[in-house]
Chain A
Amino acid sequence: MAKDLSVRIGSLELPNPLIAASGCFGYGLEYDEVTDLSALGGVCVKGLFMTEREGHPPPRIVETPAGMINAIGLQGIGVHRFVNEKLPLLRERGARVFVNVCGTTVDEYVEVSKVLSQAEGVAALELNISCPNIKEGGIQFGCSLIGTGAVVSAVRKATHLPVIPKLTPNVTDVASFARAAEDAGADAVSLVNTFLAMAIDVETRRPTITNVLGGLSGPAIRPIAVRMVWECFQEVKIPIIGMGGITNARDALEFILAGATAVQIGTANFVDPFVWSKVLAGLNDYLERHRLDRLADLIGAFDTTPPKAVHA
């Protein structure tokens, strides 16, 4: 029997908690042939600035144990081309469109947000204050409580859409950044973006990717991301969108139990573009097995009673 997987992010109701993570799903339409975009809780498209960006020269990715490091450099078509070329098609397909908003200045975040607020078919704005791969903007804001507050409150004043800053894990106390975002008027927070990382080719003694540094994603980061979601859940009342190495329903449930209202899947979509229906089926199975009707009842339902000792 199909269970109730719906969740609410502020005023936004999603049929299920699965959102395609920004930077891992193109502009959504790339996956039109293999996925029913309307069946996803949401589609968070690639980060957008006011203008087009070329991104970094390749190679842009390298695999590491249970993960990958990327430095794409936010290659993108800019907000105007997105609104004209992509958004109408995403609307046609019934996708709930989250747009990842980028900026090199507070003003640029506001300008991009205004353009998207005037367009038809955007469900929410995810503020990218956490990209580790660009020189200006992004993580500069996300690594400062004042910067985080400044971007969030400026965008808050400029849009009616839900505002969801995406937090970086490259800080000492991520919960204080969730608090700063909530205080500045955020409707939700999403976390985590990638961990700043590097990998060296020992044979050539050179970098494995052109940008030298990149962001680590994939199952390797999942336990740290789960911990961070749980820390934020104890600190703020606004909903949390959790992500970091989710590959299946069990992983998604771990984030939900830790306090995530919704989750994003990124790297796993590269490995298996058909992952979405499998995770949805797994969530449904879990509710069946545990005789529950609503997934939303599991949000933050983590029980801290110590586990029983296991004798092998």
Chain B
Amino acid sequence: MPPIDVDATVIANRRLSRDYNVLTLSAAEVGARTRAGQFVMVRPADMTETLLRRPFSVFEVARDERGTPTAITILNKRAGRTTNRLYEAEPGDRIACLGPLGRPFTSVAPPKEAWMVAGGVGLAPFATLAEALAAAGTPSTLFYGARSDQELFYIDFFERLGVTLVLATEDGSRGERGRVTAPLDRALTARAPGSTMIYACGPEPMLAAVAEVAGRHRQPCEVSVERTMGCGLGGCYSCVIKVKHGAGPAQFVRSCIAGPVFDGAEIVWD
């Protein structure tokens, strides 16, 4: 479905911590078109310091009793001017919301299992994916790593969907101490090759590590990348990432239209 631009209103701003918040935006039409892994380009209407929109995964699609989309949410982490503005947003503020954009995740059905690997704000594409997997009856696990217990969010949400959780924190305040790729690697030793689709989103070093682990255990792997993006539609060639597809040479491809979801085995990591 072609993307649309919605002049959305902030319905709610739920601040999860000092840096993270979830913004609910009245962009039901965008939600109705979105498939897990796709993103929106957003820009606060009153933003004057910056010009360009920022990419965000569609975090959740809110629905009424009949299942009709009513809004979308985005998971925001303060990192710069626009994300600060989005953290401070109040109900009623207007935010331009263009989407859905990009290539979604490839869904898998039983007997395959789906293992999601999230690092920090990389949780963002997995709420919608977990719902899609639950609807397909695909058993799923979320390996979720963060700096500390304070930055692990939506645990209840995933538990309610029946997702198995494996947590890791850098400070050991919850789950295993250290990186989430360690328990992933151990758990995969018990899995038959090709039985487990691995989805990952988070910092690029984590994605590279997940792709390496998946490759070693001969499991398929899709990663969702985030590069500095200008337009989201393939016009500016800013958000490129090096990809080697088949026998051809490695090439810079636009992560906005060829991605943000890529086959982890095809990315040439920096």
Contacts and interface: CB of A to CB of B under 8 A. Distances in A.
Contacts of A72: 236-238
Contacts of B98: 273
A63 B51 contact: yes
29 contacts: A24-B236, A25-B235, A26-B234, A26-B236, A30-B233, A33-B2, A46-B237, A54-B252, A57-B252, A58-B228, A58-B241, A58-B252, A60-B237, A61-B230, A63-B51, A66-B51, A67-B51, A70-B238, A72-B236, A218-B51, A219-B51, A270-B53, A270-B231, A270-B235, A271-B51, A271-B52, A273-B98, A273-B231, A274-B5
Contacts of A30: 233-235, 257
Contact of B5 (A61, A62, A272): A272
A6 interface: no
A31 interface: yes
A174 interface: no
Interface of A: 23-26, 30-31, 33-34, 46, 54-55, 57-63, 65-68, 70, 72, 75, 218-219, 267, 269-274
Contacts of B239: 58
Contacts of A271: 43, 51-53
B29 to A, nearest CB: 14
A75 B237 contact: yes
B228 A60 contact: yes
Nearest to A76: B237
B240 interface: yes
A82 to B, nearest CB: 15
Contacts of A24: 235-236
Top 3 closest A-B pairs, CB basis?
A: A30-B234, A270-B231, A33-B2
A33 B3 contact: yes
Contacts of B231: 269-270, 273
Contacts of B50: 63
A57 B238 CA distance: 9
A54 B230 CA distance: 18
Nearest to A66: B51
A10 B227 CA distance: 42
A34 B3 contact: yes
